[in-house]
Amino acid sequence: MVRLKLWDIGCYKKAGCKIKYFAPLFILVFAFAAFLQSNEDRYLFWKPGLKLKWSDFHGHVKSEDDASASASYIGFFHKIKKSAHADSILLDTRAFFNKAKSWVKVPSVNPDLLAHEQLHFDLAELFSRKFRRAVEQINIREISLNRIVDSTYKYYANKGDSMHFLYDIETNHGLNRESQYKWNEKVKEELLQLANNQSPFLKICIKPRK
Protein backbone atom coordinates (compact mmCIF):
# COMPACT_ATOMS: atom_id res chain seq x y z
CA MET A 1 0.00 0.00 0.00
CA VAL A 2 1.06 3.58 -0.47
CA ARG A 3 0.58 6.15 2.23
CA LEU A 4 0.24 9.68 0.94
CA LYS A 5 0.56 12.80 3.02
CA LEU A 6 -0.83 15.98 1.52
CA TRP A 7 -0.29 19.53 2.61
CA ASP A 8 -2.53 22.42 1.72
CA ILE A 9 0.20 24.86 2.61
CA GLY A 10 0.69 27.35 -0.20
CA CYS A 11 -1.75 29.96 1.03
CA TYR A 12 -0.43 33.31 -0.08
CA LYS A 13 -1.89 36.28 1.79
CA LYS A 14 -2.32 39.89 0.98
CA ALA A 15 -0.86 42.31 3.50
CA GLY A 16 -3.07 42.65 6.55
CA CYS A 17 -4.88 39.35 6.03
CA LYS A 18 -4.84 36.67 8.67
CA ILE A 19 -2.54 33.73 8.11
CA LYS A 20 -4.31 30.42 7.66
CA TYR A 21 -2.83 26.96 7.91
CA PHE A 22 -4.66 23.86 6.85
CA ALA A 23 -4.16 20.74 8.95
CA PRO A 24 -2.46 17.84 7.13
CA LEU A 25 -4.68 15.20 5.57
CA PHE A 26 -3.92 11.51 5.24
CA ILE A 27 -4.95 9.48 2.24
CA LEU A 28 -4.34 5.76 2.43
CA VAL A 29 -4.53 2.88 0.01
CA PHE A 30 -3.34 3.47 -3.50
CA ALA A 31 -1.81 0.51 -5.32
CA PHE A 32 1.66 1.76 -6.24
CA ALA A 33 1.66 1.01 -9.96
CA ALA A 34 -1.88 2.30 -10.38
CA PHE A 35 -0.96 5.47 -8.51
CA LEU A 36 1.91 6.25 -10.84
CA GLN A 37 0.19 5.24 -14.06
CA SER A 38 -3.43 6.32 -13.67
CA ASN A 39 -2.53 9.60 -11.96
CA GLU A 40 0.06 10.77 -14.46
CA ASP A 41 -2.09 13.79 -15.33
CA ARG A 42 -3.03 14.44 -11.71
CA TYR A 43 0.39 14.58 -10.06
CA LEU A 44 3.84 15.98 -10.67
CA PHE A 45 6.75 14.13 -9.10
CA TRP A 46 9.78 16.15 -8.05
CA LYS A 47 12.89 15.85 -10.18
CA PRO A 48 15.91 18.10 -10.79
CA GLY A 49 15.12 21.00 -13.06
CA LEU A 50 11.34 20.58 -12.86
CA LYS A 51 9.66 23.89 -12.08
CA LEU A 52 6.02 24.48 -11.32
CA LYS A 53 3.96 26.47 -13.81
CA TRP A 54 0.66 28.18 -13.15
CA SER A 55 -0.83 25.85 -15.75
CA ASP A 56 -0.12 23.01 -13.28
CA PHE A 57 -2.70 24.41 -10.86
CA HIS A 58 -5.88 22.67 -12.03
CA GLY A 59 -8.00 22.83 -8.87
CA HIS A 60 -11.07 24.96 -8.30
CA VAL A 61 -10.67 28.02 -6.10
CA LYS A 62 -12.04 27.17 -2.69
CA SER A 63 -13.77 30.51 -2.25
CA GLU A 64 -13.49 33.80 -4.05
CA ASP A 65 -13.98 35.46 -0.67
CA ASP A 66 -10.96 33.65 0.77
CA ALA A 67 -7.97 35.98 1.19
CA SER A 68 -5.66 33.21 -0.06
CA ALA A 69 -4.27 33.78 -3.51
CA SER A 70 -3.25 30.17 -4.07
CA ALA A 71 -3.02 26.77 -2.42
CA SER A 72 -0.64 23.89 -3.14
CA TYR A 73 -1.23 20.27 -2.17
CA ILE A 74 2.24 18.82 -1.73
CA GLY A 75 3.82 15.92 0.12
CA PHE A 76 5.81 12.71 -0.25
CA PHE A 77 4.91 9.03 -0.17
CA HIS A 78 6.79 5.79 0.34
CA LYS A 79 6.35 2.26 -0.94
CA ILE A 80 8.24 -0.91 0.02
CA LYS A 81 8.88 -3.16 -2.98
CA LYS A 82 10.43 -6.60 -3.30
CA SER A 83 13.88 -6.82 -4.85
CA ALA A 84 15.56 -9.62 -6.75
CA HIS A 85 17.43 -10.64 -3.61
CA ALA A 86 15.85 -12.22 -0.54
CA ASP A 87 18.05 -10.25 1.83
CA SER A 88 17.00 -6.81 0.58
CA ILE A 89 14.03 -4.67 -0.39
CA LEU A 90 13.57 -1.48 -2.39
CA LEU A 91 12.11 1.63 -0.83
CA ASP A 92 10.49 4.01 -3.32
CA THR A 93 9.95 7.55 -2.01
CA ARG A 94 8.77 10.50 -4.09
CA ALA A 95 7.78 14.09 -3.46
CA PHE A 96 4.65 15.06 -5.35
CA PHE A 97 2.48 18.02 -6.32
CA ASN A 98 -1.25 17.37 -6.68
CA LYS A 99 -2.32 19.34 -9.75
CA ALA A 100 -5.99 18.44 -9.36
CA LYS A 101 -6.28 20.01 -5.91
CA SER A 102 -3.86 22.93 -6.19
CA TRP A 103 -5.38 26.23 -7.26
CA VAL A 104 -4.60 29.88 -7.88
CA LYS A 105 -6.76 32.95 -8.39
CA VAL A 106 -6.04 34.42 -11.81
CA PRO A 107 -5.47 38.02 -10.61
CA SER A 108 -2.86 36.69 -8.18
CA VAL A 109 -0.63 35.11 -10.81
CA ASN A 110 2.90 36.48 -10.45
CA PRO A 111 6.47 35.10 -10.46
CA ASP A 112 7.10 35.77 -6.76
CA LEU A 113 4.08 33.77 -5.67
CA LEU A 114 4.98 30.90 -8.00
CA ALA A 115 8.52 30.85 -6.61
CA HIS A 116 7.07 30.64 -3.11
CA GLU A 117 4.98 27.62 -4.11
CA GLN A 118 8.00 26.03 -5.79
CA LEU A 119 9.93 26.10 -2.54
CA HIS A 120 7.09 24.21 -0.83
CA PHE A 121 7.62 21.52 -3.49
CA ASP A 122 11.37 21.61 -2.84
CA LEU A 123 10.74 21.26 0.89
CA ALA A 124 8.74 18.10 0.26
CA GLU A 125 11.71 16.72 -1.69
CA LEU A 126 14.07 17.73 1.11
CA PHE A 127 12.14 15.73 3.69
CA SER A 128 11.82 12.76 1.38
CA ARG A 129 15.64 12.77 1.21
CA LYS A 130 15.94 13.06 4.97
CA PHE A 131 13.59 10.10 5.28
CA ARG A 132 15.68 8.01 2.86
CA ARG A 133 18.89 8.88 4.68
CA ALA A 134 17.38 7.94 8.05
CA VAL A 135 16.11 4.57 6.77
CA GLU A 136 19.48 3.90 5.14
CA GLN A 137 21.22 4.27 8.50
CA ILE A 138 18.91 1.90 10.39
CA ASN A 139 19.89 -1.71 10.95
CA ILE A 140 16.56 -3.38 10.10
CA ARG A 141 15.34 -6.90 10.72
CA GLU A 142 12.73 -8.37 8.39
CA ILE A 143 10.22 -8.89 11.19
CA SER A 144 10.25 -5.18 12.08
CA LEU A 145 10.69 -3.75 8.58
CA ASN A 146 7.24 -2.23 8.02
CA ARG A 147 6.94 -0.89 11.55
CA ILE A 148 10.32 0.85 11.49
CA VAL A 149 9.90 2.31 8.00
CA ASP A 150 6.38 3.56 8.77
CA SER A 151 7.36 5.14 12.07
CA THR A 152 10.38 6.81 10.44
CA TYR A 153 8.15 8.10 7.65
CA LYS A 154 5.64 9.57 10.12
CA TYR A 155 8.44 11.29 12.00
CA TYR A 156 9.80 13.04 8.89
CA ALA A 157 6.33 13.78 7.50
CA ASN A 158 5.46 15.53 10.77
CA LYS A 159 8.80 17.37 10.77
CA GLY A 160 7.97 18.44 7.24
CA ASP A 161 4.59 19.77 8.36
CA SER A 162 6.29 21.96 10.95
CA MET A 163 8.85 23.22 8.43
CA HIS A 164 6.19 24.13 5.86
CA PHE A 165 4.28 26.02 8.53
CA LEU A 166 7.38 27.89 9.72
CA TYR A 167 8.29 28.75 6.13
CA ASP A 168 4.90 30.37 5.53
CA ILE A 169 5.07 32.26 8.82
CA GLU A 170 8.59 33.60 8.35
CA THR A 171 8.10 34.61 4.72
CA ASN A 172 4.54 35.85 5.25
CA HIS A 173 3.59 33.50 2.43
CA GLY A 174 6.19 35.01 0.15
CA LEU A 175 5.49 38.68 0.82
CA ASN A 176 8.68 39.10 2.83
CA ARG A 177 11.26 38.99 0.03
CA GLU A 178 14.31 39.06 2.28
CA SER A 179 13.08 36.08 4.28
CA GLN A 180 12.01 34.31 1.09
CA TYR A 181 15.53 34.67 -0.29
CA LYS A 182 17.03 33.24 2.90
CA TRP A 183 14.70 30.24 2.72
CA ASN A 184 15.52 29.70 -0.95
CA GLU A 185 19.23 29.57 -0.15
CA LYS A 186 18.74 27.40 2.95
CA VAL A 187 16.70 24.74 1.13
CA LYS A 188 19.00 24.81 -1.89
CA GLU A 189 22.00 24.16 0.35
CA GLU A 190 20.28 21.36 2.28
CA LEU A 191 19.23 19.65 -0.94
CA LEU A 192 22.85 19.76 -2.10
CA GLN A 193 24.01 18.27 1.20
CA LEU A 194 21.63 15.36 0.63
CA ALA A 195 22.47 14.91 -3.05
CA ASN A 196 23.47 11.30 -2.37
CA ASN A 197 19.90 10.63 -1.25
CA GLN A 198 18.29 12.07 -4.38
CA SER A 199 17.36 8.81 -6.08
CA PRO A 200 13.75 7.76 -5.37
CA PHE A 201 14.94 4.16 -4.96
CA LEU A 202 16.83 2.94 -1.93
CA LYS A 203 18.03 -0.63 -1.59
CA ILE A 204 17.78 -1.78 2.02
CA CYS A 205 19.62 -4.85 3.29
CA ILE A 206 17.63 -6.62 5.97
CA LYS A 207 18.45 -9.21 8.55
CA PRO A 208 16.40 -12.44 8.35
CA ARG A 209 13.66 -13.28 10.80
CA LYS A 210 14.63 -15.22 13.89
Residue boundaries of the structural domains of the chain:
4-207
pLDDT at 14: 33
Rg of the chain over CA atoms, in angstroms? 18
pLDDT at 63: 67
- pLDDT of the chain, 210 residues: tens digit per residue: 233 334 433 333 333 222 233 333 333 333 444 455 555 678 999 999 999 999 999 998 876 656 678 889 999 999 988 766 677 888 999 999 999 999 998 877 889 999 999 999 999 999 999 999 999 888 766 567 788 889 999 999 999 999 999 999 999 999 999 999 999 999 999 999 999 999 999 988 776 655
By the 10 Å C-beta count (0-12 exposed, 13-18 middle, 19+ buried), 116 is classed as: buried
pLDDT at 30: 37
pTM score, whole prediction = 0.79
- Cβ distance 98 to 73 under 8 Å? yes
